[in-house]
Structure 1
Amino acid sequence: MSCVLTTVCAGYEARFAEFSFEPGFAAAVDQHAAEIRDRLGARSAGLEPAAPDREALADYALGFVDALTEIDWREPVAYDYAVCRLTALTYLVRRHRLVAPRRGTS
């Protein structure tokens, strides 16, 4: 099931580079990550957000990607709701080390 997470990360990890010159995009991704954590019940009493459950995140990602496939969504050059959501999924995976990074990435 983590295969979908690896696939999403491979497609959206490069979007992290846009954070430095697109602060609105960075803020939107942060909000999407918080919403995903809430949706999956990854709450923490401390200041540091809890890691989402890997399997629950993979199930969520699979459902989201399937929905995009059903509507024949195509990634825009800029960003939209789906790009923000997929980038947020990637952020959560990388932030919490839920799958191993691809070779040549950190």
Structure 2
Amino acid sequence: MNDSPGCPLTDVVATYLPRLSEFSFEPGLVAAVDQHAAAVCDALVPAQRGPEPRSVGREELADYVLGFTDWLSETDWVEPVGHDFATLRLTAVCWLVRELDLLDKDAA
């Protein structure tokens, strides 16, 4: 998968990266996004035994985003000014993309 404009991760980062700047103003937001990031990781990578951390791949996360945003479209979701479940989940995906450097990995 490349990082073309149609890549769902690119779109999520472009839209939700600015929300990460709200972390310094809203401490509760950090905890909420952390919980959503953990839920996404749990959904994509089963719990492992041992000391190795779980790692989410770019392709799996992109597939997750496609399914989640399709569901949002089907429910006629509109992004609110504040934070709801969907904005927290998409902000968490953005955070994972940034922390795991998923847009730069293997870029041609």
TM-score range, shorter chain: 0.7 to 0.9
Counterpart-to-counterpart distance in 2, 1:82 and 1:53: 21
What residue number does 2:84 align with? 80
Name the count of aligned residue pairs.
Answer: 99
**Distance in 2 separating the partners of 1:4 and 1:93:** 11
Distance 1:8 1:74 in 2: 15
Equivalent residues in 2 for 1:62-101, closer than 5 Å: 62-100=66-104
CA RMSD of aligned residues (A): 1.7
Alignment match, 1:50 = 54
Deviation per residue, 1:48-84 (Å, 9 max, x gap): 8433011111100000011111111111111000000
Matched residue type, 1:40: L
Further displaced range: 80-89 or 51-60? 51-60
Q: For residues 4 and 50 of structure 1, what CA distance do their matches in structure 2 show?
A: 22
Report if aligned partners of 1:43, 1:49 keep a CA contact under 8 Å in 2.
no
What is the percentage of aligned positions where both structures have the same residue?
Answer: 55
Residue 65 of structure 1 aligns with an amino acid whose one-letter code is T
CA distance in 1, matches of 2:53, 2:88: 19
